[in-house]
């Protein structure tokens, strides 16, 4: 887990190594100052030697200057290394998520992934910076101060050992309780982010149903859960400061009392006592810093685990060792295909699918809600992999193709029509980055999108809001169809992508397909039989199986489900889920 994160240090290894080296140098310079101060008092002030004071004082100034510069360099390189690690982590996570199959993405919530890319990475960044600086500085300072103190007076320095032992045990107890709550807190951010994301993305529905108060209450509950857990953790940590102050002042009193007696007995000098008091603060503050570093590391462990989960997640779908980059044609064949979203599922979504579709054919796909129409077409471009059987495109198993090459030739207009912020041209060029304005306009003409675009004040330069919120459902569908056409695919799949357009426009789009892209295989999922009755053949799906496959006339004669739905729709305008007699 830690190794997974350290691989992302990459080009910031130099800064990561330089930071602790500078921190150690700073500590060494700081430890020299109390020792030199004792020499000034004993050998300079008490002896009346002004030259010794100047000489040692100059060394102290030089040590302080070097320590200052070393501390500044350590801070600079520490910030560079930790910020660089965070940058690399976000980039690697984001790039890795792009390789996920739909099955991988289904394991994580959107809010969970956003939290990992933001809050969790920030926690790791802070912990890494503290590890490089404080986790180096605190032990080095503690060790050096103890060595110097024992060098001055071993008997009196035993006070430090007793204080460190007692304080270490008490701080460990405090940390163990606090970190338990911190580990519970960060997963709660997922719930809060999910609440925000759901509310903002569906704000129109929230306002339409006047649910602002309920949504506010839901967010307040998620926020209060985080507040309560952090309060429990902080209530444990508040004991750190008073405990540390009590220990420090107790040590000062003991050393002053015992030291005063030793000075009177001429076994200790005044300068040595002052140095021991200075080292007392160094030792105990180093222990305090160590405790905070451990708390930060413990806080970040939950974040490290969550980030590692994403980085170690292997895509269920990978390119073959020697992929095929050319898709010969748009023919499709399903051979004994079974499919389940989970490998261990006892009831597959698709069962024993056998179909053969010729290149250039127009195929309609209809079926009731939950009949697995979308699941069927998602397998063609390897958005998911089959769990049994095989799918051939252009006479080859889809698993033999390079995924990018396959998906460039199998263009899918998904049920959820998504547009991105930017101009209409920007959105269209998602289909082909190098498309010219003329090519974009031709695709819009084929999708009947030019009708409303030309009426817009800014035409094709009109700005589209995120998600396409400033255009209607039908307009969004037509733009998505045009975007798919720009890829000039060998297979075009429309997953209920004309449901929001009127029947006349639907008919014009289908006519344009027949005339403009006759060699492209077209699969059209629809609820309206009118949208597919002119297709070369029609697939009737029922409960994850192909109930029938034939022309409109053949299905009317031979398939009871198709005939009942057709009669229902022609008589009463019902859809596929409203069968005759229901």
pLDDT of residue 574: 53
pLDDT of 57 > 60? The answer is yes
Return the pLDDT at 27. 86
pLDDT single digits (tens) 235-289? 877 777 788 778 878 888 888 888 888 888 888 888 788 888 877 777 777 877 8
Give the integer Cα–Cα distance in Å for 290 and 278: 19
The pLDDT of residue 572: 56
What topology is assigned to 2-311 in CATH? ABC transporter transmembrane region fold (1.20.1560)
Local structure of 24: helix, strand or coil: helix
Range(s) for CATH 1.20.1560.10 in the chain? 2-311
Q: What is the pLDDT of residue 580?
A: 41
**In this predicted model, what pLDDT tens digit does every residue of 151-160 receive, in sequence order?**
888 888 888 7
pLDDT for 576: 55
pLDDT digits (tens, 9 = 90+) for 171-217: 778 777 777 777 777 667 777 877 787 787 778 788 888 888 888 88
Residue for token pair 């405790």: 291
Asked if the model's pLDDT at residue 582 lies above 50, the reply is no
Could you give the C-alpha distances from 289 to 125, 130, 138, in angstroms and in order?
18, 10, 6
- Going from the C-alpha of 575 to that of each of 62, 351, 376, 562, 570, the distances in angstroms are 87, 24, 20, 11, 10
User: CATH 3.40.50.300: which residues of the chain?
Assistant: 332-572
Tokens of 218: 């839901």
The 3 state secondary structure assigned to 520-576 is CEEEEECCCHHHCCCCCEEEEEECCEEEEEECHHHHHHHCHHHHHHHHHHHHHCCCC
What mean pLDDT do residues 496-515 have?
Answer: 83
Q: Quick one: the chain helix, strand, coil %, rounded to 5?
A: 65, 10, 25
3-state secondary structure of 388: strand
Distance from C-alpha of 88 to C-alpha of 147, rounded to nearest angstrom: 40
Query: pLDDT at position 524, please?
Result: 92
Q: How much is the pLDDT for 21?
A: 92
Degrees to nearest 5, angle at CA 55 with 52 and 56 = 85
pLDDT at residue number 186:
67
What confidence category does residue 33 fall into, taking pLDDT thresholds of 50, 70 and 90?
confident
Q: Which residue has the higher pLDDT, 168 or 454?
A: 454
Answer yes or no: is pLDDT of 350 > 60: yes
d(CA 17, CA 12): 9
Question: Taking the CB of residue 310, how many other CB atoms lie within 10 A of it?
Answer: 23
**Segment of 21-30, 42-51, 259-268 carrying the highest mean pLDDT:** 21-30
User: Please, which residues have CB within 8 angstroms of residue 562's CB and are 6 or more apart in sequence?
Assistant: 366, 529, 538, 540, 548, 555, 556
Q: What is the pLDDT of residues 93-111, one digit of tens each?
A: 999 888 887 777 877 777 7
Say yes or no: domain 332-572 is CATH 3.90.226.10.
no
Answer whether 430's CB lies under 8 Å from 464's CB.
no
CA distances in angstroms from 337 to 292, 322, 379, 386, listed in the order given: 57, 24, 10, 7
**Residue 575: which pLDDT band, with cuts at 50, 70 and 90?**
low
pTM: 0.70
């Amino acid at each position: 887990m830690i190794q997974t994160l350290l691989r992302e240090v990459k080009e910031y290894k130099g800064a990561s190594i330089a930071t602790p080296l500078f921190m150690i140098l700073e500590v060494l310079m700081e430890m020299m100052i109390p020792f030199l101060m004792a020499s000034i008092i004993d050998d300079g002030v008490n002896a009346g030697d002004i030259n010794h004071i100047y000489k040692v004082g100059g060394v102290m100034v030089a040590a302080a200057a070097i320590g200052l510069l070393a501390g500044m360099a350590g801070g600079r390189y520490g910030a560079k290394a930790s910020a660089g690690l965070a940058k690399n982590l976000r980039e690697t996570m984001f790039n890795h998520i792009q390789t996920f199959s739909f099955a991988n993405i289904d394991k994580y919530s959107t809010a969970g992934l956003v939290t990992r890319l933001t809050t969790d990475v920030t926690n790791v960044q802070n912990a890494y910076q503290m590890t490089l600086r404080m986790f180096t500085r605190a032990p080095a300072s503690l060790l050096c101060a103890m060595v110097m103190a024992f060098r001055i007076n071993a008997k009196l320095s035993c006070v430090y050992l007793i204080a460190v032992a007692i304080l270490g045990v008490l701080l460990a107890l405090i940390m163990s309780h606090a970190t338990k709550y911190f580990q519970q807190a960060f997963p709660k951010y997922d719930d809060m982010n999910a609440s925000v994301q759901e509310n903002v993305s569906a704000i129109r529905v929230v306002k339409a149903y006047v649910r602002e108060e309920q949504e506010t209450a839901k967010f307040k509950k998620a926020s209060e859960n985080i507040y309560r857990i952090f309060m429990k953790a902080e209530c444990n940590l508040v004991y750190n400061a008073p405990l540390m102050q009590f220990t420090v002042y107790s040590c000062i009193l003991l050393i002053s009392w015992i030291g005063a007696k030793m000075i009177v007995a001429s076994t200790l000098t005044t300068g040595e006592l002052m140095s021991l008091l200075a080292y007392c603060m160094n030792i105990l503050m180093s222990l305090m810093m160590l405790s905070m570093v451990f708390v930060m590391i413990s806080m970040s462990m939950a974040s490290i685990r969550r980030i590692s989960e994403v980085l170690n997640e292997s895509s269920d779908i990978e390119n073959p060792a020697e992929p095929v980059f050319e898709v010969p044609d748009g023919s499709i064949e399903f051979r004994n295909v079974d499919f389940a979203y989970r490998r261990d599922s006892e009831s597959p979504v698709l069962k024993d699918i056998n179909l053969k579709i010729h290149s250039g054919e127009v195929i309609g796909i209809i079926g009731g809600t939950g009949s697995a129409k979308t699941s069927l077409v998602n397998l063609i471009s390897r958005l998911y992999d089959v769990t049994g059987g095989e799918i051939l495109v252009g006479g080859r198993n889809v698993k033999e193709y390079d995924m990018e090459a396959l998906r460039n030739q199998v263009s899918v207009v998904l049920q959820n029509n998504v547009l991105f912020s930017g101009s209409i041209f920007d959105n269209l060029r998602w289909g082909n980055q190098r498309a010219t304005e003329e090519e974009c306009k031709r695709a819009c003409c084929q999708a009947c999108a030019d009708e409303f675009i030309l009426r817009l004040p800014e035409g094709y330069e009109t700005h589209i809001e995120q998600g396409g919120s400033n255009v209607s459902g039908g307009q969004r569908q037509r733009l998505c169809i045009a975007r798919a056409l720009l890829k000039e695919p060998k297979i075009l799949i429309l997953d209920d992508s004309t449901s929001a357009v009127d029947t006349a426009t639907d008919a014009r789009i289908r006519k344009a397909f027949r005339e403009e892209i006759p060699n492209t295989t077209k699969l059209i999922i629809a609820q309206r039989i009118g949208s597919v009755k002119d297709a070369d053949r029609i697939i009737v799906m029922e409960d994850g199986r192909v109930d029938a496959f034939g022309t409109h006339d053949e299905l009317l004669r031979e398939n009871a489900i198709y005939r009942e739905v057709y009669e229902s729709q022609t008589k009463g305008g019902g859809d596929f889920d409203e069968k005759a007699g229901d």
